[in-house]
Every structure is written in C-alpha cells, then in structure tokens.
Amino acid sequence: MAIASPSSSVTVRSFSPVWSIKRTSQSQLRMMAVRSSNSNSLSVSTTPILTNLQHNCATPLPLLRHVADSMADDMRAGLAVDGGSSLKMILTYVGSLPTGQEKGLFYALDIGGTNCRVLRVKLDGKDIDIKKISREIPAELKTGTSKELFGFIASGLWELVNWEFEKFGIQKDRKREIGFTFSFPVEQTSISKGTLIEWTKEFNISDTIGEDVVACLVEAMKELELDMFSVTALVNDTVGTLAGARYKDGDVKFAVILGTGTNACYIERMKAIPKLNSQGHVTKDTIINTEWGSFSEGLPLTEFDLGTDLGKQAFEKMVSGKYLGVIVSRILLKMAESENFTRELNEMQQDDSDDLEIVGSILNKTFEVETTLNMRKTAVKVIDTIVRRGARLAGAGIVGILEKMEQDSEGLIYGKRSVVAIDGSLYEQYPQYKLYLNEAVKELLGPEKFQYVVIEQFHDASGVGAALLADTSSNVTSTS
C-alpha cells in the first residue's frame, strides 16, 4: 500500500475496487409517485423555495467551526459523566487492536440498517480473502419481535457452515469464534456483552430494549443447533471498521461510517475518561463509540428537516444516506415519502448533458411528471444544496474529533500521518459527497494541519475488524 507523506493531500483508497454507479443504471428503490391536482408538472414554486433553501442550508466556515468545536465539547462532556451530552461516548472494552501480522480464518456476523452479512475472512499477512453471504433484512422484521429478528440473523450461519463443508470439507461441528457487529447503540459491560439502549434507522422492536443482544443471538443459535459458534466479541460497525482498517494501516486513529446511517469511533486514553472513576482498567487506551448521530448543536435546520422528526438522531438525519432522499423529495414536491433516493441523487447530480436528459428521465419515472429544462436545473440545485450541506457537516464532525484528540495530546494528530478510516455505501458510491466532505475538512484545518490527514476508504473493514477482534478477545480470555 502506498503511504502518503506529510506533504501529500488527502487521498481516498479502498481494500477493493469501489463499485461505480453507471449513469444509466436504475435503482430498485422508488419514491412515492405524486401528481399535481391541477397539472402533470411539479407543483411547487421552485425559485422562492430554492432561494430560501440555499440560504438556510449554507455551511460557511464560521458555522462549520462552531459545529466542530461543539462536537469536541460534547465529546468531553460525554466522557465526564453518562448522559452528560448528546453524545453517548460508549466504552467498548476493546483494549488491543490488530497488528497487521494476523493469519488464519476468522468469522463475523454483521447487522446494519439494511443488510445482514456473514463473513468468512482468511488472512495471510496483508492479503485478505473474504467470503460474504449478504441478505436484506425484511421490513417486517424491523418492527417484529426479538426472536424473529435474531432467528433471521442466525439462520445465515447455516449457509456458511454448509458452504465450508462442501467447498473445503470442514466438518460442520468444528468450533468457530465469531465477532458480532451490531450497528445500534449498546451499553457494553464487557467485550462480549452489551444491552441495547435504543433502536435507530427505523428499527423498533420493543422487547429487545435493555436486553443483552449477544444473549439474544446465542439463544437464536441454540434454536438452530448452531452451537459450533461462540460469540467472543460484540462491536459497533465503526469499531469494526477501525479494527479492520488498523490491520491494513497502523496510522489509523479513528473511523467513520457514512452509509444508511452514520457514526464515529476513535482511540481514547483511559485517563481521559473521568466517568470510569477507579474501575481498575489496566489498558492505557480503548475505543470510544461516540454515537455522534444524536449530535444537534448549531445545525442549519430547515422546515423540511423538521418534517423528518429531527428531534431524534439530528446529525444522522442531515448527514446519512437514509434521509438525504427523504429531504430532497420533500423539497421537490413539498409532500413525498421515500425509503431511499440517494442513488438517483447521484445520477442526477452527475448529469452534465446540455438538456439534463438523465434528470428529466428520473423525475418522470419517479413522479410521473413532464419537466422543463429550467425545472430540471432547479432539481439539480436542490440536490446539490442538500448533499453539500450533509457532506460538509460530516467533515466538520471529523475535524471536531481530530481537534479533540490533538488538544488532549499535542502532536498526536498533526505531528504525524493520521488516517481517518471511512466505510459505508454513501461515501463509497457518491463522488460529489466525498468531494464536499474532503473540501470541508481542508477548509477547517488549513493547509498546515491538513497535510498530515489522510481520509481513506476501507471497504468491508467492519466485518474484517469484528472477526479479528473475536479472535483477539478469545485469546485474551483464555490467558487471563
């Protein structure tokens, strides 16, 4: 892997080639078709809406600086006492990270906002071979019962066991340690135990709140006679990303998820966590899961944001892929609901044809309307306004964490190469979002500090990291 020197600019790389969206591809996700009651055209007066929108969504440097500073302040307040800020600042009990020398077979189970994945990771030095079984989580399971959801999650393990037996002759009853990536707020009591604080990303299963999610998974595995698996690590997807990225690059300092949802975690010194008091932790450093999606200080809100129930997970709803399309659809027609419009946003924003043919085609298919060139130009400007705001706010959040780490340990960040590991479909698939985020980071830091920062994409890092942490945690337990 090429290493950026301190004089290099921000670079973006990945474990594997990024899947690029063809401009002519069609998303399977469709917004609700809405017609004007009077005519077959967009029924909003676009010019006043766009003017107000651009004013209200503006992210000038002073606003971004306020967001970054407030993020750092909230981090400290959350470390001082539980409930001290909008950021939960959850202790993960991860006391050691991969060294890059790990070899062998490792396993992970990863549940996010959209998909459930089972991963078999084979490591040989820096080479990574991943077998991935991915299934979309049915909508009804997101609001069903705990038994139904965890039963679905566990069932994917059987497919892996059967595949290993048929492919390599590995006996089905062979013991396997597995890391469990669970991308929701969990209060951990150890590396392998944690109770669910709340659901996010439109999950709402009441009988899981306050329960140990590892115990829920173990019970589901017992039901399916999957006792060959032992869950030895419970990690958030950001924590998994940090660990997986650290395997590839020892300069990784923290990780960010920018996909359906968003979150960040970073390496913190134990002595900088006042709320631990005298609990007797022997490690010097640990990973803190910030749960930054709930951050809300100084964000540039609009009436369309408030319409998405912004009182909860405010930062996430302005930054992540789950909600960008919802906000744009509300603006375009002042009334629409969407599961996800993000891929179409990308296609429309990349349309550089004179008549914006792609924009017109997508709007026609989505809303069943005919549009003029002026209307298509307005739609692109609306998209650009919302995407730019979200990406720049994410950049400000990144700078907030960098600044907090540097202020606590001078020279930790800006005196040496510092890597921010990013994973997630939004950052991976949306070039304009990526560009705006990097621009905001550079604008906030200035050239002197910016030269030390590398924003690097690590595809599938969360699953790799969870698998590695499962092995590390098992070794620590067996020798303690």
Tens digits of residue pLDDT in 159-188: 899 999 999 898 888 999 999 999 888 988
DSSP-derived pairing of the beta strands 453-457 and 418-423:
parallel
Q: Is the pLDDT of residue 14 over 50?
A: no
To 10 degrees, what angle do helices 342-349 and 321-333 make?
70
Say what the pLDDT of residue 283 is: 67
Question: Which tens digits make up the pLDDT trace of 392-429?
Answer: 999 999 999 999 999 999 999 998 999 999 998 899 98
Q: What is the mean pLDDT of the chain?
A: 82
Say what the pLDDT of residue 417 is: 95
Is 237 an annotated catalytic residue? yes
Do the beta carbons of residue 55 and residue 367 sit within 8 Å?
Answer: no
Say what the pLDDT of residue 196 is: 94
Q: Considering only CA atoms, which of 251, 374, 320, 329 is closest in space to residue 1?
A: 251
Band (pLDDT 50/70/90 cuts) for residue 364 is confident
b/e for 61-94, b at 16 or more Cβ within 10 A? eebbbebbbbbbebbbebbeeeebbbbbbbbbbb
H or E segment to which residue 454 belongs: strand 453-457
Is 392 an annotated catalytic residue? no
CB atoms within 10 A of CB 424: 25
Q: Is the pLDDT of residue 62 over 60?
A: yes
Is 460 an annotated catalytic residue? no
Structure tokens at 194: 């944690």
Give whole-number Cα distances, 71 to 33, 135, 171, 392, 467, in Å. Answer: 39, 35, 50, 14, 30
Band (pLDDT 50/70/90 cuts) for residue 334 is low
Q: What percent of the chain has pLDDT over 70?
A: 83
Output 313 or 282, whichever has higher pLDDT: 313
- Weakest mean pLDDT among 14-28, 116-130, 226-240, 437-451: 14-28
Question: Which tens digits make up the pLDDT trace of 298-320?
Answer: 999 998 887 656 667 899 999 99
Distance CA 294, CA 103 (A): 38
Say what the pLDDT of residue 342 is: 66
Q: Out of 27, 70, 117, 388, which one is annotated catalytic?
A: 117
Q: Out of 27, 85, 146, 183, which one is annotated catalytic?
A: 183
Q: Is the pLDDT of residue 44 over 90?
A: no
Mean pLDDT computed over 35-55: 57
3-state helix, strand, coil in the chain (%, to 5): 45, 20, 35
Q: Out of 74, 110, 212, 237, which one is annotated catalytic?
A: 237
